[in-house]
Structure 1
Amino acid sequence: MTLRGITTRGLGVAAAAVVLPLLGFRYGYPDLALLGAAAALALACGIIFAVWRPRLGVERVADPDRVARGEPAAMTLTVRNTSRVRAANLVAADRCGAADVPVPLLRLRPGRDTTVEYPVPTTRRGIVAVGPLRVTRTDPLGLLTLSRAYGGTATVWVHPRIHLLRAVPAGMARSLDGRIDKVPHGTITFDSLREYVVGDELRRVHWRSSAKVGELMVREQLDTSEPTIVVLLDDRAAAHPALRDGTAESFEAACEAAASIVAAAVREDLPVVLHLVSGRVEGPFLDVLTEASLRDGDLTQTVRTLRQSRLGDTLVYLTGPGGRVDLGEVGGLRGPYPVVIAGLFGDPDAAPVSAGGSLIVIEAEDGEQFAGAWDGVRGW
């Protein structure tokens, strides 16, 4: 329960309840004392009325609870008067993000319910907390107001906008003799020979070796080249200096690019790994990108970790204007990662990057422009 405040009228009545009886008894004016007692009685009745706690059941359902930025999402709120004897004549508001949504509860009879549906704002990436329901009661004389919270909260995840990427890195095939070649997808390659066992396919029998050994020998094959994409999102505040309303447009564009790459890899059934410069990633990738915010991070340490772990064969580094000076450091991963791509956002007026062939640089203002430039890259 929260006491929102005694109204101006309530303050006047409270003062009268204290002062008038004192003046009446001191100077012998019983009428003043009577008025003071009436004021005290009115204040007590107002407190009793406002303190009464209505019994309400609150349920809310988000449809959907995960949505891409800009797509519609709705919250359905059902409030039921679980009291058996008293109707609820209330003023209520449901908290939705930074706004309050009015909920009509006038004359809600016992056992009845009311349902309200309203849109959830999805114009910004992030987590929108909805609830709890705040119910306000004011006594008939308007002396004081009390507010209570009902029900729990719900969460709507506003994921970064996903842009269609038609091109996906093909990956690299590492053969047994150490050669590295590009392949469209995972490649099945000869690994070794072993003796034939019942159930082996005859088409895998290596007849020449079988003739030399004197018994059937079959080929063991190995998938040597399942391509893996590693997405490194630069969430350092220094990389995205142009803050506006608590975030940077370059960082929003980088999150959209990361989400688009992850979605394209999943669509093509390719392994994908997401890393943040600030630390480890835990949970579904789209949820991680939804929660991502600008903070401190050590790019040098992250590059060292990626060099040692060698998580894949295609590295995509997504950064903002402040990350331009770090492209050379990331380009140094060209050894352990045969293909290194950098997405540079929010710096359209700067001179074009000359990477010297160590990495492919895509400069874009937003996620949509990045998707178009991504599909235009050749020679992966």
Structure 2
Amino acid sequence: MTVTLRGWGLLTAGAALLAVGFVFGYPELAMLGAVAVVALVSALGHAALKPVLAVSRAVDPDRVSRGEGSTVTLTIRNIGRFGAATLVAHDRCGWGTDSSATVPVPLLRLRRGRQTDVSYPVPTSRRGVVHVGPLQITRRDPLGLVASTRGHGDTSQIWVYPKAHLMQAVPAGISRSLDGRLDRVPHGAITFDTLREYVIGDELRHVHWRTSARVGQLMVREHVDTSLPRIVVLLDDRLGSWPAFTAMTCEEFESACEAAASIVTAAVREDLPITLQLVSGNAAGSGRVRGSARALLDLLAEADLAQRDEQALVTATNRLRQFRPGDTLIYLTGTGGHGDLALVTGLRGPFPSVAVGMLGPRLPLEPESVGVLMLRAEDGAEFAAVWDGVARW
């Protein structure tokens, strides 16, 4: 609850009139001062009355690509005991921690027991996470002396994904034979992985009867595709790798996010396991759920540029060298990160295939390929075209 400038002015004038009236014996001035003070006290009591509202929120859809439409629908019901309410309401709708972006929500003569529905579009012009809510309702007295703002309802989030450009090609898998040779194959080779409990829908021909008899419950053999291409995308989110960064965004980094989204979409379309890792340390993978890229695209929507530790890339490459979650590594960076390419090219031992995607404007002196596949592009669309033009990974 806050007192407006008009309220402070009225309080000051009322106090002055009371003082002058009592000191110099002017009862009329004292009465005017008392009326001013009583008006402010009444305004405080009016603003203290909390409107009793039930607010529900629906977002359709809550995950969209950049530029696509999303709508927030608010359902507000007056469940108070008193009459109609006319209030000033604003719903927060902004990026990240920005709480200044609001949308006006008209609440005119909302009678007791009645409800109103208000819809508005969500801004999706840029990649990121849009935070919506809570609904801020401001109650003012008729004279505008006091204002009280309270939050109502829950909050929601809308993930705005980067654009994904169509890619036809995917890297080939690595098949390890018994004599140690490495053969690239476009499809997988099924092999036994582990035993697990039977679930409804499993084929009976996969039941391991000897183990089932020993443990007293049905156990089935689970197979994996050892030569299925496993793709790892390492996205450079260090501020120093993107020299064109401004206070809000960086178009070159947005192009890198589009390139990563294009790779993720192509891999999921082909039912290939893929892992996305940021240099800052956050990571997501498709896991065992085929055909779903939600976790990876959510991570891309949440990614931002910030001042990272100088050893962040060293830590990321050491982690990849130790755990090696795939056999094809794609490193996406900007023109400011060409000085650290040696750290990534050092992963050619653990990873049979390493590619570097560099996004940003062309330079007078372009960096060399340093012994790995170099995918040079200015934006996400050009990166997709360069990707499809690769003859062999």
- Is 1:142 equivalent to 2:155 in the alignment? no
Quote the Cα distance in structure 2 between the aligned partners of 1:133 and 1:224: 51
Deviation track 1:180-230 (CA, whole Å, cap 9, x = no partner) reads 11111113589xxxxxxxx99xxxxxxxxxxxxxxxxxxxx9954121111
* Counterpart position of 2:290: none
Structure-to-structure mapping, 1:357-372, within 5 angstroms: 358-372=371-385
Aligned residues: 349
> In the alignment, residue 376 of structure 2 is paired with which amino acid?
E
Q: 1:126 to 1:224 in 2, by over 3 A?
A: closer
C-alpha displacement of 1:61: 0.7
- Is 1:276 equivalent to 2:283 in the alignment? no
C-alpha displacement of 1:47: 1.6
> In the alignment, residue 27 of structure 2 is paired with which amino acid?
P
Quote the Cα distance in structure 1 between the aligned partners of 2:76 and 2:319: 52
* Counterpart position of 2:48: 51
> In the alignment, residue 15 of structure 2 is paired with which amino acid?
V
Deviation track 1:283-311 (CA, whole Å, cap 9, x = no partner) reads 71111111112231421232222223332
* Counterpart position of 1:110: 112
Quote the Cα distance in structure 1 between the aligned partners of 2:48 and 2:225: 71
Unaligned runs of 5+ residues in structure 1 are: 191-198, 201-220
Quote the Cα distance in structure 1 between the aligned partners of 2:224 and 2:29: 100
* Counterpart position of 1:301: 315
* Counterpart position of 1:324: 338
Structure-to-structure mapping, 1:16-35, within 5 angstroms: 16-35=13-32
* Counterpart position of 1:6: 4
TM-score (norm 2): 0.83
Structure-to-structure mapping, 1:320-359, within 5 angstroms: 320-355=334-369, 358-359=371-372
> In the alignment, residue 71 of structure 1 is paired with which amino acid?
E
Unaligned runs of 5+ residues in structure 2 are: 95-99, 193-203, 206-222, 286-294
Q: 1:222 to 1:161 in 2, by over 3 A?
A: closer
Deviation track 1:294-349 (CA, whole Å, cap 9, x = no partner) reads 23142123222222333222110000111112223312222222211111011323
* Counterpart position of 1:65: 62
Contact 1:353/1:361 (CA < 8 Å) preserved in 2? no
TM-score (norm 1): 0.86
> In the alignment, residue 291 of structure 1 is paired with which amino acid?
E
Identity of aligned residues (%): 55
Deviation track 1:108-150 (CA, whole Å, cap 9, x = no partner) reads 1001111111111111111111111111122112222222211
C-alpha displacement of 1:84: 2.8
Quote the Cα distance in structure 2 between the aligned partners of 1:304 and 1:222: 27
Structure-to-structure mapping, 1:127-276, within 5 angstroms: 127-187=129-189, 223-276=225-278
Q: 1:51 to 1:122 in 2, by over 3 A?
A: same
The 10-residue stretch of structure 1 (59-68 or 274-283) with the greater mean CA deviation from structure 2: 274-283
Aligned to 2:149, the other structure's residue is in SS state strand
Contact 1:320/1:347 (CA < 8 Å) preserved in 2? no
> In the alignment, residue 339 of structure 1 is paired with which amino acid?
S
The 10-residue stretch of structure 1 (95-104 or 343-352) with the greater mean CA deviation from structure 2: 343-352
> In the alignment, residue 17 of structure 1 is paired with which amino acid?
G
Within the candidate set 309, 312, 323, 2:326 is matched to 312
Query: Aligned-pair RMSD on alpha carbons?
Result: 2.2
Contact 1:17/1:40 (CA < 8 Å) preserved in 2? yes
Aligned to 1:244, the other structure's residue is in SS state coil
